[in-house]
Amino acid sequence: MAHANYIFTSESVSEGHPDKVCDRISDEIVDLIYREARKTDADLWDVRIACETLATTNRVVIAGEVRLPKSLMKTNKAGEEVINAGRIRSAARRAIRDIGYEQDGFHWKTAKIDVLLHSQSADIAQGVDKSHETRDTKSADTDEGAGDQGIMFGYACRETPDMMPAPIYYSHKILELLSAARKKGEGEVAQLGPDAKSQVSIRYENDEPVEVTSIVLSTQHVDPTWDSKKVRSVCEPYIREAMGELPIAKDCIWYINPTGKFVIGGPDGDAGLTGRKIIVDTYGGMAPHGGGAFSGKDTTKVDRSAAYMARYLAKNVVAAKLADKCTIQLAYAIGVAQPVSVYVNMHGTGNKVTEEQVEKAIRATVDLSPTGIRKHLDLNKPIYGKTAAYGHFGRKPGRDGSFSWEKTDLGTKLKAAIKEG
């Protein structure tokens, strides 16, 4: 049995972290494609994108495979139909501007942006594409197949209001508050830059979070005369606000900009890549991760859609009081619609139900094919830019359909299926 008294640490990074800049650009391109498909006669089910972004000093490279609506294509001088790279570059510049980069070494206006997207491989597409007539069925023989093999995990617990592990929840909260204040221009915090990292260590007793034992924050700042002490004086009120009712230990260790000044940040300070912060995106290391990144992918890619469904299922198990803690794994084979396995672990916290009962109830309640997931969670929408920072989970469902996987509307059906089973 795992020990119940321990210290656990998770980290988060801000929207201006180089890797998160890349995630944001990739997801804004996903949104652009979905938005254009919705505005035209394009079939939303035919959208395909796997977009990778690299950013460094005043340079952005966007590569990957796509299937685009006609409105994002153009005819070149040779009469060939090619991708309208200007639309892609504009989406990238808007993302960089919104994050706040107007530095000499990385500026939304002046950064050179290379677009190296190409058409999706026919070999990959054949495993996913099915006829329009069969997309409403649940048959594994006729339904849309998974875009790749892979394993995806979902997790939920009762440690925080959003059913997320406490260390990653509070690490995100620190950076969210600082970012909001920076963008509002609130006093000296407006002198902070977009690039930042946080880390929170929490002591657990009897498997419950009881106090913060260490806080690490490294944040970019504009004024080169600021030292660590000055940065702490500006940021500490926001850190304490983020902790809410969770006590900060009297002997808590604080490391605020421990290496000194942090003026050069973002892609000018360090190169960024899409998909390098997958633990920040999920549960801060408290739960397993299947390995696949989310950002830059359309929802035929089960790396993204099935991870969202796994979180949705785990959260609904906990919200329905079937367990206090739940991990769910879904596994897929490329080109095959239904998962090859569904695994549930309630970590000994099940409330008069077994893992086997919950696994059976999930299969009976939800269509876990890529088509079924996309329909159930209504994922064919331009809702992904906002997922790129501060985690894909533990967020509030939006009126625009964003974060639909955070809803807790499945509990009654799960309980009924368990009772009938």
Q: Considering the chain, what is the average pLDDT of its residues?
A: 92
Residue 140 confidence (pLDDT): 38
Rounded Cα gap, residues 56 and 272, in angstroms: 7
Q: Are strands 341-345 and 208-221 parallel, antiparallel or unpaired?
A: unpaired
Residue 158 confidence (pLDDT): 97
Residue 397 confidence (pLDDT): 97
Rounded Cα gap, residues 254 and 200, in angstroms: 10
Rounded Cα gap, residues 217 and 179, in angstroms: 13
Residue 125 confidence (pLDDT): 53
Whether the predicted pLDDT of 143 surpasses 80: no
Catalytically active residues, by annotation: 17, 19-20, 52, 65, 197, 262, 270-271, 276-277, 297, 301, 303
Whether the predicted pLDDT of 42 surpasses 80: no
Rounded Cα gap, residues 247 and 293, in angstroms: 33
Number of C-beta neighbours around residue 251 at 10 A:
8
Q: pLDDT of 303-320, one tens digit each?
A: 999 999 999 999 999 999
Whether the predicted pLDDT of 149 surpasses 70: yes
* Side-chain-side CA neighbours of residue 336 (13 Å): 10
> End-to-end distance of the chain based on CA atoms, in angstroms?
30
Instruction: Give the dihedral sign, CA 354/359/361/366.
Output: positive
Rounded Cα gap, residues 286 and 314, in angstroms: 14
Rounded Cα gap, residues 325 and 207, in angstroms: 11
Whether the predicted pLDDT of 131 surpasses 70: no
Q: pLDDT of 226-235, one tens digit each?
A: 999 999 999 9
Q: pLDDT of 262-292, one tens digit each?
A: 999 999 999 999 999 999 999 999 999 998 9
Beta bridge mates, 9: 201
Q: Mean pLDDT over residues 173-194, rounded?
A: 95
Residue 335 confidence (pLDDT): 85
Contact 210, 201 (CB under 8 A): no
Whether the predicted pLDDT of 80 surpasses 70: yes
Residue 268, φ and ψ in degrees, nearest 5: -75, -25
Contact 264, 230 (CB under 8 A): no
**Confidence category of residue 44, pLDDT binned at 50, 70, 90:** confident
Contact 169, 212 (CB under 8 A): no
Rounded Cα gap, residues 381 and 419, in angstroms: 35
Residue 282 confidence (pLDDT): 98
Non-local (6+) Cβ contacts of 346 within 8 A are 317, 322, 323, 325, 326, 353, 355, 358
Residue 251 confidence (pLDDT): 97
- Concatenating the DSSP letter of every residue in 332-376 gives E-BT-SS-SEEEEE-TT--SS--HHHHHHHHHHH---SHHHHHHH
Residue 70 confidence (pLDDT): 82
Residue 387 confidence (pLDDT): 98
Give residue 348's identity as a one-letter amino acid code.
G
Whether the predicted pLDDT of 71 surpasses 90: no
Q: Mean pLDDT over residues 337-352, rounded?
A: 95
Which of 76-85, 134-143, 379-388 shows the lowest per-residue confidence on average (mean pLDDT)?
134-143
**Confidence category of residue 74, pLDDT binned at 50, 70, 90:** confident
Contact 13, 179 (CB under 8 A): no
CA–CA–CA angle 25, 28, 29 (5° rounding): 90
Residue 46 confidence (pLDDT): 80
Calculate what percentage of the chain has a pLDDT beyond 90. 80
Domains and CATH numbers, the chain: 6-12+167-266 (3.30.300.10), 18-133 (3.30.300.10), 150-159+299-420 (3.30.300.10)
Contact 48, 66 (CB under 8 A): yes
pTM to 2 decimals? Answer: 0.93
